[in-house]
């Protein structure tokens, strides 16, 4: 809200209030804080309110009254200052997590001190009752638009599957219904353009490609251009090379090869990783060093181990390639080739346990598109796999709990 609408103002244009001679004190207007007296003031996107307005809002909350003055310094109403007007209200403020960064610290401390901070869930339990409500949601979106063909059962099922995928959590559905509603409308538009009687599953699948955000389209374009110089190998055996899996943007899976080479060191041996690694990825390299010492008989005290994330132009942020790194290095140390029809993802503990990672569904689908036949994933992620039907026959999924199981399959 702009300051005048929230805090009260003095109208600047006398013609709106009775003529040129209307004195400024007769042009006083209450703000939302005054209209909310004895009721509720709801402020959405609180972080877009400027700091000065937040300070005045805090004063109104604390003192239960606030004088009205002109909000423009050039207004004749700037000289008007009314008696304090009651502002005894309950305030409800909303915003995304980034709102915390832009809130006035004193205002936020009063919210925490005298009220409640509530973190809203963005997923809900996947139950038969909830699925019925999502089906109703699809019908309501169609009715609200008024021009779209209604959805078939299989089309609704595909929308619910997408709600599962976007939750990125087993046995949950996303509550980002605005985004899901966009998918429903795009699918309906495609069906209407074809003069179809109903919106089918195929229309929903087409809509999933068309209703992607700008960021996702950029990620997809990057992946498409990358294929011109693709180094993915999905057949044969190669020493020290593993097909890793990553996610770009929110849901664009990508095959990212990891290569390892062992060379004599001119000093104490060390592990050198390249590919624009961020902090968490750097720490993962250190964990992998411990695994290498445990699972390889080779003495690495006088050897340098080089690990390269191939084509990692955007950098590597997380630790989901720990399993990939360890496998590539042990292969290079032992000179045992790796089956290139396999891709993998997973984090590692220093004891060799394979830990869960994000985006497994999108990673598996990317592997299938690249011609990979087998994908190794953490067993803890087994229930998170919700790949499209067309990929189910293309790829075998092997859940593992320990690095020893990975080596048994890959080497």
Active site residues: 320, 363
Q: What is the spatial distance between Cα 383 and Cα 385, in angstroms, rounded to a whole number? A: 6
The backbone torsions φ and ψ at residue 249, rounded to the nearest 5 degrees and listed phi first, read 65, -140
Roughly how many angstroms between the first and final C-alpha of the chain, as a whole number? Answer: 62
For residue 367, give the H/E element and its range: helix 360-369
Q: What is the DSSP letter of 83?
A: P
Q: Which two tokens stand for residue 335?
A: 């000179």
- Nearest CA among 94, 140, 148 for reference residue 117: 94
- Cα 25–Cα 28–Cα 30 angle in degrees, nearest 5: 150
Residue 85: other Cβ atoms inside 10 A: 17
Q: What is the spatial distance between Cα 46 and Cα 93, in angstroms, rounded to a whole number? A: 6
For residue 255, give the H/E element and its range: strand 252-264
Contact 407, 375 (CB under 8 A): no
Give 252's strand partners: 248
- Cα 53–Cα 56–Cα 62 angle in degrees, nearest 5: 140
Residue entry with tokens 């409500």: 133
* Residue 143 buriedness (CB in 10 A; 0-12 / 13-18 / 19+): exposed
Q: What is the spatial distance between Cα 334 and Cα 380, in angstroms, rounded to a whole number? A: 29
Contact 7, 56 (CB under 8 A): yes
Q: What is the DSSP letter of 63?
A: H
Positive or negative torsion for Cα 37, 43, 46, 51: negative
Q: Which two tokens stand for residue 44?
A: 């959405």
Report helix, strand or coil for 118.
Answer: coil
> How long is the chain?
411
């Amino acid at each position: 809200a702009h300051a005048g609408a929230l805090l009260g103002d003095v109208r600047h244009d006398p013609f709106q209030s009775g003529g040129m001679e209307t004195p400024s004190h007769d042009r006083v207007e209450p703000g939302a804080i005054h209209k909310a007296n004895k009721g509720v003031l709801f402020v959405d996107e609180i972080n877009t309110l400027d700091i000065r307005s937040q300070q005045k809002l805090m004063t109104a909350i604390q003192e239960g009254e606030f004088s009205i003055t002109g909000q423009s310094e050039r207004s004749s109403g700037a000289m008007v200052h009314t008696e304090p007007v009651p502002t005894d209200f309950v305030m409800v403020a909303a915003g995304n997590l980034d709102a915390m960064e832009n809130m006035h610290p004193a205002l936020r401390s009063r919210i925490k001190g005298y009220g409640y901070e509530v973190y809203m869930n963005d997923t809900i339990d996947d139950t038969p009752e909830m699925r019925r409500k999502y089906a109703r949601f699809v019908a309501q979106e169609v009715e609200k638009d008024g021009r779209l063909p209604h959805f078939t059962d299989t089309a609704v099922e595909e929308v619910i599957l997408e709600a599962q995928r976007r939750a990125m959590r087993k046995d949950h559905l996303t509550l980002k219904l605005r985004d899901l509603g966009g998918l429903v409308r795009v699918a309906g538009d495609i069906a209407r353009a074809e003069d179809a009687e109903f919106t089918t599953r195929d229309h929903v699948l087409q809509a999933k490609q068309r209703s992607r955000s700008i960021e996702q389209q950029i990620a997809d374009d990057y992946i498409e251009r990358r294929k011109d110089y693709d180094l993915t190998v999905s057949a044969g055996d190669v020493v020290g090379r593993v097909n890793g899996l990553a996610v770009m943007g929110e849901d664009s899976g990508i095959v990212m090869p990891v290569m390892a080479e062992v060379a004599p060191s001119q000093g104490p041996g060390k592990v050198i990783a390249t590919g624009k690694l961020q902090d968490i990825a750097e720490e993962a390299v250190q964990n992998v060093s411990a695994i290498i010492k445990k699972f390889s008989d080779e003495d690495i005290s006088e050897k340098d181990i080089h690990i390269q994330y191939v084509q990692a132009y955007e950098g590597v942020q997380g630790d989901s390639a720990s399993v990939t790194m360890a496998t590539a290095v042990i292969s290079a140390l032992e000179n045992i080739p790796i089956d290139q029809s396999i891709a993998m993802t997973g984090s590692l503990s220093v004891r060799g346990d394979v830990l869960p990672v994000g985006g497994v569904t999108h990673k598996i689908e990317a592997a299938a598109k690249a011609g990979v036949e087998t994908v190794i994933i953490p067993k803890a992620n087994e229930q998170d796999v919700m790949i499209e039907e067309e990929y189910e026959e293309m790829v075998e999924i092997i859940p593992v709990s320990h690095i020893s199981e990975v080596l048994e399959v890959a080497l």
